[in-house]
Amino acid sequence: MSADSPLERPADAAVAQAAAPAQSARGFFRVLARPRVRRSLISLVVILAGWELLGRYVLTDRLFFVPLSDVAAELMKLAASGELARHVGASFKAIAYGMALAVVVGNAYGIALGASRTLSDYTEVYLNALYATPLVAVAPLLILWFGIGIASKVAVVFLISVFPIVISTASGVRNVDLHFLDVARAFGATPRQVVAKVMVPAALPFVLTGVRLAIGRAIVGVVIGEVFGASAGLGYLIYTSGQTFDVPALFAGVLCLAFAGVALTWALQALERRLVRWKPAPLED
C-alpha cells in the first residue's frame, strides 16, 4: 500500500492531531522563557503577593483596603451574576467606537497637518489650545447634548484620545528623512505619492506610538463619561461602589480596566513588530 493511500491518511491525521497539543505547549513555554515575559511575570507575582499580604496583615480596615483574594471573590460573584459582562460590554463598546473614530480622524488630520504648511498655519494653534483644555470639564456638556447612552461616552473617548494621535502622527510626518523625499521627487513622484509612499510608511512608528498613548486616555475618558452619567459600565461600577463603600467591587472594576490597558498595549506592540520590521529591535537581555 502506498504512502498516499486513503486508508493511511486518517491515521496520519490522528497522529498530527495528537501532536498538536504538545507543539502548542512547547510554543507556550518558549514564550514564557523569553527574558521580557519572564521578568514581567515575576514582577506581577511579587506585586499580587504583596497586595494580598498588605491587605491581610497591614491594612486590615475593609473600608479602605481589601486583600486580593476578596477582590477575586467579588470578580467571580459579578461574573456569575452576569453583572460584570454587562459593565465590561458597555465600557468596551464605547472604547472601541471612540478609539476607531479617533484613529481614523486623528491619523487623517495628523498626516495632512504634517504634510501641509498652510493647514498647519491655519489650525495648529487651535489644536494646541484644545489639547491644553481640561476636557474633563466638557464631559457634562457632552452628556447633556447626547444623553446618558453610548453616544456621550463615545464622544468623550474620542475627544480625549484623538489629540495624542494627531500630534504624534504630525510629528512623524514632519520628521521623515529628507533623503527619502529627495529620492522620491527625483524619480518624479507626485505630492500625493510622496505622502502615501514615503511619509506615511516612514511615520508609522510615530502613528502606532500615538495610538498606544491614546489607549490609556480612552480608558480614562470612558470612566469619566460613566461617572458623570451612565447606567452601566466599569466607571459606573467604580463610582457606585465608592458611594456604597463596596471596596472589593471598586477594586474589581479598577483591575478590569488595568488589565484591558495592558492587553491592548501588548496587542499594539505585537502589531508594531509586524508592521515596522525595519525598526531596530530592543535588546532582550
Q: What integer pLDDT is reported at residue 135 of this predicted model?
A: 74
pTM score of the predicted model: 0.77
Q: What percent of the chain has pLDDT over 70?
A: 84
Q: What does the pLDDT look like over 108-120, one tens digit per residue?
A: 999 888 888 888 8
Count of positions (residues) in the chain: 285
- Bigger pLDDT: 2 vs 200: 200
- For the cut 60, the answer to whether the pLDDT of residue 103 exceeds it is yes
Least confident span in 40-49, 188-197, 205-214, 255-264: 188-197
149/167 Cα distance (integer angstroms):
29
pLDDT at 283: 47
163 pLDDT more than 80 = yes
Q: What is the mean pLDDT of residues 69-89?
A: 89
Give the residue with greater pLDDT, 23 vs 215: 215
**Minimum mean pLDDT range among 28-32, 63-67, 139-143:** 28-32
pLDDT at 279 over 90: no
- The DSSP output letter for 63 is T
128 or 37, which is more confident: 128
What are the sequence ranges of the domains in the chain? 16-60, 66-275
Average pLDDT of span 32-50: 77
Q: Nearest CA to 221 among 159, 134, 283?
A: 159
Confirm if 98 and 154 have CB atoms less than 8 A apart: yes
Confidence of residue 30 (pLDDT cuts 50, 70, 90): low
Domain 66-275 listed as CATH 3.10.105.10:
no
**pLDDT above 80 (res 260):** yes
- Neighbouring CB atoms inside 10 A of 55's CB total 22
Residue 38 has pLDDT above 80, yes or no: no
Which is higher by pLDDT, 125 or 14?
A: 125
Assess contact for 202 and 171: CB atoms under 8 A. no
* Rounded Cα gap, residues 231 and 144, in angstroms: 15
pLDDT computed for residue 136 by the predictor: 74
Is pLDDT at 19 greater than 80 in this prediction? no
Q: How far apart are the C-alpha atoms of 233 and 285, rounded to whole Å?
A: 40
Q: Are 252 and 191 in contact (CB under 8 A)?
A: no
DSSP structure class, residue 5: -
Q: pLDDT tens digit string along 191-228? A: 788 877 888 888 888 888 899 889 988 988 888 888 87
